[in-house]
Structure 1
């Protein structure tokens, strides 16, 4: 078991993100790239304490946040060109985690054993991404992010008190819109969601639907559509376990693409990161209007999701929750998570017989 530290809630018996080591093999957002300009930054993922830092040549690294000499935190250290120096005795480490200088013995090359663990790190969409172990899939590609006809609007990067698996459920849940989002785009008088088309790929799902929505005053400033109702042509793509692209096309041609990713900080705590990509300009719709509307929508979700349990019945033998036909996509996502655990988890080791 790989539960994060912390008290268990009574009655929770189903799967949590820390239960399966395979989830260490995916990319997760750690922080905005701009944070690295402030110096070495600490970060923790699946119980692994890291230091993220950027060398003078721009190389970004994620290393174990503990010097191999006397375990001082390297995140308290300082940058020295291409190296990160420990604050305790000045030992210097390169981007691969190898010690390159011991100031007390400058004439001797440090031994190969003088090194700290290095983690996978990448820069994408304005954020630093890390993976604890060899990633099973790449960071999702977003063609629109590289298209000059679109703009990226950074929105949210903040902790939420919920399970990552519950957020995945929510990403596919068309039935909650009428109720949870009644203050923004939902119509509680029409609780039956539209049909959706679903297709699977190796590590995820795609859901397509045309969704009628209410278009209240704040929505009008966000869409540029004056009518009190409109429709969203919606394509939701999920890359297990933690990334979702929601591509929304409105009747006026506006494309509002929401990319959301979650980083597990605990069994019931995530780092929620979201930005949007739009094919309009600041003169058409100010970025502040897009952010304000998405903030209201995400806050509506957050209130509900933070009240849910951390555990989710994914694996065989776990007591299922009640369901309805509109849960199909969410249930497929749960089965996809189960398949990932079953396919990519190492078999349990068998202890050797004791000898006299």
Structure 2
């Protein structure tokens, strides 16, 4: 008699547990069904809104092929709802390389981007605007230079790369250093033919059009100079072409950056040397006409390295080049913005340091 009521109680408890599980399962299925309906309705509303925008004549239509596949959901429930609605997750796409441009098509693209184009933003760092040229500025600058030089000497003798890198990062003025302007009269270090061959073999992006080691860049660039100087005074085609060739030459710009940085970072224990890791970074050139003046911007990246003289051979110090790994590598980004009609220009160099020691 006592066993029967106990079994009945256990059966009732099991039935209650099963009922709760069934109720939770039903609620979960209802929630998934609602999320599925919500996902379908959302996709339909987005499609309708997109169709309304495309029918609007004032809406700028993009020529790029858009990916209509929905993005991968963050939660497992929403992802199950989207997959259940018949949509597949986004798969990784491989970017195809740019097809080579012919001379005529590249010239048309460059002209289209140069004619009536909006001038690109200034490449000068915002730190230059905060510098106030007063009586106390010059002593503070000299004090900062002397402090950095003393730190480099001390930590280089102790072979402490971490502290040298920290000292370079604390020197905020390295993010925007001024360079001397190009002197068009002083061009005895190389002939124009040599610089043309150097520029033609480099990777250059002209008004957004990439040219990589092809013979079509020089004729295309000369045609662009001819087109831009047709209705502009105070400058001829040959003058613009020659000035731009000298500004695009990686060897001449690298020499200017070297002398500027070596005066700040060089010491009896450290020496600054160029490296060959900057050839993969293209030279970005923008040439356009604005307010009746031919203007242009040039950006090039040059790789340098700080070496301890104690780690180098005497022959490497004399040559100024070495094939070894630098003690601290860095990139110097040279920016120049010029108005060739008025002969005004601004040149700066920014030092980019590595994020880690190794």
Assess same fold via TM > 0.5: no
Larger-Rg structure: 2
> Which structure's residues are more often strand, by fraction?
1
Shorter chain as denominator, the TM-score bin is: under 0.3
Q: Normalising by structure 2, what TM-score?
A: 0.21
Q: Normalising by structure 1, what TM-score?
A: 0.21
> Which structure's residues are more often helix, by fraction?
2
